[in-house]
Structure 1
Amino acid sequence: MIYDFVIVGHGLAGAILGYTLRRQGHQVLVIDELPEHSSSKVAAGLVNPVAGKRFAKAWLADSFIPAADAFYKELEEHFRQELYFHKPIYKIFSSIEEQNTWMAKSAESSWNEYIAETRITSAGEPGINDQFGGLLIKRGGQLLVREMLQLLEQELLDAGLLLPERFDFNSLQLTATGIRYKQVQARQLVFCEGYQVIHNPYFKWLPMQPTKGEVLEVKTEYKFISECIYNKGVYVLPNGEGTFRVGATYNWRQPDEEPTQEGQQELTERFRQITPHAFRVTDHWAGIRPAVRDRKPLVGRHPEHPQLLVFNGMGSKGVLMAPYLAARFAASLAAATDMLSEVNISRYFSLYYDYIKR
C-alpha cells in the first residue's frame, strides 16, 4: 500500500490532523514512540477566548472556537465518550489597575459573545480571593487530552495504522513520487513532533523556542462552590473530590521534562493568591511546549522538498487552534483553499536559505 500521508508525532497536533485526514478518506500512517509524559499528555486542555493581562481576544477566536466545538463534539460521538466540557472561566482581577484596563475595553461589541459578566467587587465565594472582582468568561472549556490521545492511539493500533517507534531519519528516502521509510511508501510526510523539530534535519531552521511548563495536582478539604475554571496568573481547574490542577509555568531556560522545586514553589504561591484554604501537592508534572518566536503556528511545505510538510508550533493553545488549522491544512493539501499566511512557514523561508548557506 502507498499511504497518502505519513504523520510523525501523535501529540495533540498530530492526532487532530491525522483524524481529520482519515475522516476525509485519506490513507494515513502514524509514527510515534508514544512517550508517557509529552507536553500534550500533561496539558490541562483549556480553551480560553481571552488572552493575557491586557485582555486581548484570543487570535482568531471567532474562527477557532466554533471549529473546536464542532470537532470535539464529532469526536465524542465517534467514540461515544465525553471528552470536551464547556466551562465558564472566572478571570480574577489582581488590582484596581487591571480592573480599569478591562473596563476601558469592555465597551467593544466584539466581546459580547465571550463575556457573561463583569464583577467590580467580590462574588462572595468564601474560598476565593477576588476582592477586585473579575470577568466571567463564556465559551471556555476543557478537553481531556490524555483520554482523547489514548482513544485515538488504540484506534490506530487496532487498524494497524500506528508504528510505535522513534522516527529514524536515516531510514527516510525522498523519491520522485513521495517518500520511502523502511518498508513504507507515502506520497507526503507531515512532521508533527512538537519541540523535537529542533532536531529535524529538514526543519531545524524554523524558529522554535521550546518552553517548559510545569503543572501541579493539589488537594484541599474545601470544595469550591463554583464549577468554573479560575484564572489569576495561573489556571485552577477543579477535577472533583477536592482535587485541582494548577498551572502552568513558562520556562525558556530549562528545556527538559523534569519537575523542579522552583516550579512547584511558583505554582503553590500563585494558588495561595487565589484561595486562603490549606492544600497539599499530590502530583507534579512537566512538559515542553512547541512555542514559536512570533507566537504563531508553523504550517506548510518544505521550500525544496514538497513531499515534506510540517504542522507544529501551537504552544499552549493547541486545543483551541488545532481543529481549525487541521481543516484548513487538509483543504490546502487538496488545493481547495490557501493555507493561512499568518501560519505558513513561507514567512520564514529566508531563515532556510541562510541555513543552507552555512
Structure 2
Amino acid sequence: MLYDFLVVGHGLAGAILTQTLEKRGHNVFVFDFEKYNSASNVAAGLINPVAGKRFAKSWQADVFIPAAEEFYRNLENELDTSLFHQKPILKLFSSIEEQNNWMGKSAEGQWNEYIEETYPSLPFSETVNQELGGLKIAKGGFVELRKMLSFLRQKLETQNKIRSGTFNFSNLTISENGIQYEDMQARHLIFCEGWQAVNNPYFGWLPFSINKGEVLDISVQNFTSGCIYNKGVYVVPLGEERWKVGATYNWREPNELPTEEGREELLGKVKQLLKIPVEVTGHLAGIRPATRDRKPLIGTHPEVTQLSIFNGMGSKGVLMAPFLAAQFANALTGKSAIWPEVSIDRYRKFFYESEQKG
C-alpha cells in the first residue's frame, strides 16, 4: 500500500501530528520505538500560560491555548475518556524579591486574561508555605500524556498502522515519487524522533540543545487541592493522594537515568512548598528535544523534499503541538506556510556549512 505519510516517532509530537493528518483524510503509517521513559511519557503534560521566574507570558499563548483545548477536548470525545484537566495554577512567591519582580511586571498589563488573582500575602496554612502570597493563573492544566499516547497507539494497532522497532536509515530508499522503507511506501516521510534527531543523518545539522529532566511521583496523605502548585517546581494533583513533581533541567548528562542528585533537588524544593511529609513512589528521567532558541524545528529538508521534521518543542509540546501540527499539515499540502519562527529555514546556513564540512 502507498501511504501519504510515514511518521517516524509516536511521542507527543508524532502522535498529535499523526492524529491531525488522519483527521484531514490522509493515509498515515507510524514507525516507532516504544519507550516507557520517553520524554513524552515522563512529562507531566503541563499547560502554563505564564512561566518562569521572570513571569514571562508563554510565546503565542493566545493562539496555542485555544487550539490545544479544542484538540484535547475533541480527542477525549473520540476516545471516550478523560485526558485534559483544566486547573488553575497557584504560583507561590519564593521570596520578597520575586514578589516585587511580579508587582513591577504586572503593570505591563499583558497577562490580564491569564491572572485571576494576585495575592500580596496568603493566610497561614498548616500544609503549604504560602505566606508570601502569589498568583492564581487561569487557563492552565495538564494532559495525561502516558494515557493519551497509549490510547492513540491502541487505535493505530487496531488499524494495523503502526510498527515497533528501531528505524534503520540503511533501509530507507528515496526516489523522485517518495520513499520506501522496508516493505512500506509513502509519498512523504516525517521525522518526529524527539532528542534522537541529533543522530539523524538528514537533520542532525539542526541546533538541538537536549537536556535531561527528572520527575518524582509522590504520595501525600490527607492533602487535596483543586490547583496545580508552582514554587520552584510544579506539583500536579493526579488524584487519590498522588502527585507529580518536576522538573529538573540538566544539560551535563544527556542520558535517561534518574539520579540521586535529581531526587534530592526535587525533594528539597517540595519541602520548601509543603509542610507535610511526602512519600516518593516513582522517579523517572527523560531527555527533552529542546532547541537553541527554544522554538520548535519544523519543515522540509532543504534538498531532499521527500523528508520533513516536526520536533524541538522541549517542555512546551503539550501547549504548542496541536496548533503547529495543524499549521504544518496545511503547509505539507500547499495550503499555507509555517511561521518563520519555527521553520527550519532559519537554520538553513547550518545545513550548507555541514555539507561543506562533509
Shorter chain as normaliser: what TM range? over 0.9
Q: 1:286-311 CA deviation, whole Å, 9 max, x = no partner?
A: 10010101100000010010110000
Q: 1:110-138 CA deviation, whole Å, 9 max, x = no partner?
A: 31210110000024432111121000000
Equivalent position of 1:175 in the other structure: 175
Q: Provide structure 1 residue ranges, at least 5 long, that are not aligned to the other structure.
A: none
**Maintained 8 Å contact 1:222/1:277:** no
Q: 1:291-349 CA deviation, whole Å, 9 max, x = no partner?
A: 10110000001001011000000001100000010010001112111101000000111
Output the CA distance in 2 between the equivalents of 1:357 and 1:67. 41
Identity across the alignment (%): 54
Output the CA distance in 1 between the equivalents of 2:147 and 2:238. 14
**Maintained 8 Å contact 1:229/1:236:** yes
Q: Which amino acid aligns with 2:278?
A: F
Question: Is 2:302 the partner of 1:320?
Answer: no
**Maintained 8 Å contact 1:32/1:166:** yes
Equivalent position of 1:251 in the other structure: 250
- 1:67 counterpart SS class: helix
Output the CA distance in 2 between the equivalents of 1:307 and 1:162. 20
TM-superposed CA distance for 1:242, in Å, is 2.2
Output the CA distance in 1 between the equivalents of 2:178 and 2:329. 17
**Maintained 8 Å contact 2:172/2:182:** yes
Equivalent position of 1:192 in the other structure: 192
Equivalent position of 2:227 in the other structure: 228
- 2:327 counterpart SS class: helix
Output the CA distance in 2 between the equivalents of 1:108 and 1:130. 25
Equivalent position of 1:301 in the other structure: 300
Q: Which amino acid aligns with 1:227?
A: G
**Maintained 8 Å contact 1:90/1:230:** yes
Equivalent position of 2:160 in the other structure: 160
**Maintained 8 Å contact 2:179/2:188:** yes
TM-score normalised per structure 1: 0.98
TM-superposed CA distance for 1:109, in Å, is 3.5
Could you list the structure 1 runs, at least 4 aligned residues long, displaced by more than 3 angstroms after superposition.
none
Equivalent position of 2:262 in the other structure: 263
Equivalent position of 2:18 in the other structure: 18
Output the CA distance in 2 between the equivalents of 1:123 and 1:314. 38
Q: Which amino acid aligns with 1:241?
A: E
TM-superposed CA distance for 1:107, in Å, is 3.0
Equivalent position of 1:345 in the other structure: 344
Q: 1:128-168 CA deviation, whole Å, 9 max, x = no partner?
A: 11121000000001100000000100110110110111111
Output the CA distance in 2 between the equivalents of 1:124 and 1:48. 26
* Larger CA deviation: 288-297 vs 234-243: 234-243
Question: Is 2:208 the partner of 1:204?
Answer: no
Output the CA distance in 1 between the equivalents of 2:68 and 2:209. 25
TM-superposed CA distance for 1:102, in Å, is 1.0
TM-superposed CA distance for 1:266, in Å, is 0.2
Q: Which amino acid aligns with 2:34?
A: L
Equivalent position of 1:122 in the other structure: 122
Q: Which amino acid aligns with 1:126?
A: E
Equivalent position of 1:51 in the other structure: 51
TM-superposed CA distance for 1:91, in Å, is 0.5
**Maintained 8 Å contact 1:127/1:222:** no
Q: Which amino acid aligns with 1:15?
A: A
Q: 1:91-118 CA deviation, whole Å, 9 max, x = no partner?
A: 0111111111111122334312101100
Q: Provide structure 2 residue ranges, at least 5 long, that are not aligned to the other structure.
A: none
Q: Which amino acid aligns with 1:136?
A: K
TM-superposed CA distance for 1:42, in Å, is 1.1
**Maintained 8 Å contact 2:126/2:275:** no
Equivalent position of 1:131 in the other structure: 131
* Larger CA deviation: 17-26 vs 92-101: 92-101
Question: Is 2:144 the partner of 1:144?
Answer: yes
TM-score normalised per structure 2: 0.98
- 1:174 counterpart SS class: strand
Aligned length: 357
1:76-115 aligned at under 5 Å gives the runs 76-115=76-115
* Larger CA deviation: 118-127 vs 155-164: 118-127
TM-superposed CA distance for 1:240, in Å, is 2.1
Question: Is 2:328 the partner of 1:329?
Answer: yes
- 1:343 counterpart SS class: coil
**Maintained 8 Å contact 2:5/2:188:** yes
- 1:209 counterpart SS class: coil
